[in-house]
Structure 1
Amino acid sequence: MRDERLGCAGILLAAVGAVAAVLAWAPRARVSVHGGFEGMHRDLSVLYVDLPLIAAGGALVPLTAWLLTLRVLRRPWLAAAIAAGALALGVWGLLSWWTPYERPEFTG
Structure 2
Amino acid sequence: MQEEGQGCAGILLAAVGAVTAVLAWAPKARVSVHGGFEGMHRDLSVLYVDLPLIAAGGALVPLAAWLLALRASRRPWLAAAFAVGALGLGVWGLLSWWTPYERPEFMG
Are 2:16 and 1:16 aligned? Answer: yes
Q: For the residues of structure 1 that align with 2:88 and 2:72, how far apart are their CA atoms? A: 21
Question: 2:50 & 2:62 partners in 1: Cα distance?
Answer: 19
Between the aligned partners of 2:84 and 2:72, the Cα distance in structure 1 is 17
- Displacement after TM superposition at 1:106 (Å): 1.4
Task: Give yes or no for the alignment of 1:2 onto 2:17.
Answer: no
Q: How many residues align?
A: 108
- Distance, in Å, in 1 between the alignment partners of 2:101 and 2:54 is 16
CA deviations over 1:9-68 (Å, ceiling 9, x no partner)? 000000000000000000000000000111111000000000000000000000000000
- Calculate the aligned-residue CA RMSD, in Å: 0.5
CA distance in 2, matches of 1:87, 1:64: 10
Does the residue aligned with 2:99 lie in a helix, a strand or coil?
coil
Matched to 1:87, the amino acid is L
Query: Identity across aligned pairs (percent)?
Result: 87
**Which residue is equivalent to 2:101?**
101
In the superposition, the TM-score normalised over structure 2's length comes to 0.99
Partner AA of 1:37 in structure 2: F
Pairwise CA distance, 1:107: 2.4
Residue 22 of structure 1 aligns to a residue whose secondary structure is: helix
The TM-score, its normalising length taken from structure 1, stands at: 0.99
After superposition, what is the alpha-carbon deviation per residue over 1:64-83, rounded to whole angstroms, capped at 9, x for unaligned? 00000001100000000000
Match of 2:84 in 1: 84
Amino acid at match of 1:76: P
**Residue type of the alignment partner of 1:72:** A
Q: Where does structure 1 differ by over 3 angstroms across 4 or more consecutive aligned residues?
A: none
